[in-house]
Amino acid sequence: MRTSSLFVLPLAIAAATQARAQAVDGVLDTSFGGGSGQNVVAFDRGATNKDYARAIVVDGAGRSYLVGDVDTSTGRKIGIVRLLASGAADESYGTDMNARVVAPTGQTSITVTSAAFDAQGYLLVAGSKLISGTDTSFLVCRFAPDGTLANFAGGQTACSQPDFNVGGFHTDTANSILVQPDGKIVLAGYASSDTGTTLAITRLQPNGALDTGFGNAGKTTYTGAPFVSFDATRIRLNPDGSFITAGSAYDANAVHFGVLVHVGADGVVDTAFSGNHGYARSPSSKMDFTDVIWDPQWTNYVAIGNHYETSGTYGETHCYLKSGGGVSCPHNGGGDYHIGHDVHFTTLLRQADGRWLVAGAHRAIEDGPTDLFLARLDPALALDTAEFTAPSGYAVHDLGLPGHQEVGTAMALQQGRILVAGAALRTMNTNNYDFGIAAFTLDRIFQTGLEKP
């Protein structure tokens, strides 16, 4: 197992750190996972044994839920693992009392992308479900605290399947979920169209039914000219109740850009956004956006994503005004992050002090192994080399499986820790992945002021 945080601690910082409740931020937290700082969980229910965690949420008791999809002998299903605050498996969870849930029963094919708690503290799991052929629908299922499927509050079903069916292959996928303060559930992703894909958003009532007051009878679709394909990787709720999505767009020549789309609280796309374009675009092609958050300190959006070049993949940050216009990030920060041969930025969190946490995957050399990645950026969006795994500003961690291919897909905060969850390849040249998680220290001086995703 290798953990590379490039950690050098000058005496002055060491003295200050001793006065703090925890070590310098970003160090593997060996109080988690029985001294290892990590946990790897396999389902191995059949077929390829591919178990892929794509989301993590933490409840009020500090228990973490790793959520993804698992391959079984009767198709791909929702997989959930619950860990205690210590990182150990919670054997009281699940129908078999083994910390795991696999649902639903019967033959099915489900891809999981995201998760959130609803207003009652029940777990919502979002993604897509195969109907037939290439036809898939949005999917969100609700789970009780014991891991059993539970009907939506006031509803008659535990799973809702909003379908767009606007053309093309009828492939509809929800990539992101959020729950509004009033309990309404918002899903965002893409739907197949006759030309490619369209941005697709739907809002459900707490009972799982479509909120017909949102968009067009509960649904919104959008593809901005001159592009033929739009999607949303992440949707966030703005302080004013509107929404911002981060994703990508492709033109007819398959040239792609990262795009942000602003959507009103009523589900109507803000076509005045970014100088009446209706979307804000990345400054160059070969890019995507994977996450975006409003920065109240600098009153602009901060978006992360990736820049794909033949020389490697670079993480990206860019800033946009509330109106969608491009703006220099604070102190002219942002831009490319060349860290190793490849670094993928997948998820973003903002600290109340204006610093940013970014998680994803890292490859040191071409064709080398990939590891979990975690970095902190200062308010100017430069690597926080002073107080986060100094002097690098980032940490990479190998979960130790022989496949040597790992990716961080999600991040959450838990009792003074940063949790990075994802998947790890168990056997090379196979598709046999397992759920994986690693914990990193987070100085308690900032813990109480952190904003959750």
**pLDDT at position 96:** 80
Q: DSSP per residue over 122-135, as a string?
A: -EEEEEEEEEETTE
Average pLDDT over residues 435-453: 67
In a domain, 143, yes or no: no
pLDDT in tens, 251-266: 999 999 999 999 999 9
Q: Cα(123)–Cα(144) distance, rounded to whole angstroms?
A: 7
Q: How confident is the model at residue 327 (pLDDT cuts 50, 70, 90)?
A: confident
Category of 130 on φ-ψ map: left (φ > 0), alpha (ψ -120 to 50) or beta: beta
Residue 144 domain flag? no
DSSP 254-284: --EEEEEEEE-TTS-B-TTHHHHTSSEE-SS
| Count of domains observed in the chain | 1
Residue 237, domain member (yes or no):
yes
| CATH number of the domain residue 170 falls in | 2.120.10
Is residue 302 pLDDT above 80, yes or no? yes
In this predicted structure, the answer to whether residue 140 has a pLDDT above a threshold of 80 is: yes
CB 282 within 8 A of CB 290: no
Q: Tell me the pLDDT of the chain averaged across its residues.
A: 92
> 260-295 pLDDT, tens per residue?
999 999 999 999 999 999 999 999 999 999 999 999
Spatial distance between the Cα atoms of 114 and 183, rounded to a whole number of angstroms: 17
In a domain, 221, yes or no: yes
Residues 6+ apart with CB under 8 A from 366: 312, 341
Give CA–CA dist 421/415, Å, rounded.
Answer: 16
Q: Is residue 327 part of a domain?
A: yes
- pLDDT tens, 34-90? 999 999 999 999 999 999 999 999 999 999 999 999 999 999 999 999 999 999 999
In a domain, 186, yes or no: yes
Q: Which two tokens stand for residue 42?
A: 């396999």
- The answer as to whether 79 is a domain residue is no
Q: Which pLDDT does position 16 carry in this prediction?
A: 38
Look at the pTM and tell me if it is higher than 0.95. Answer: no
Can you tell me the distance from the alpha carbon of 379 to that of 299, in angstroms, rounded to the nearest whole number?
Answer: 12
pLDDT at 6 over 90: no
- The mean pLDDT of 346-357, rounded to a whole number, is 95
Residue 399 domain-assigned (yes or no): yes
Q: Which domain holds residue 384?
A: 3-48+166-446
Rg (CA), the chain: 21
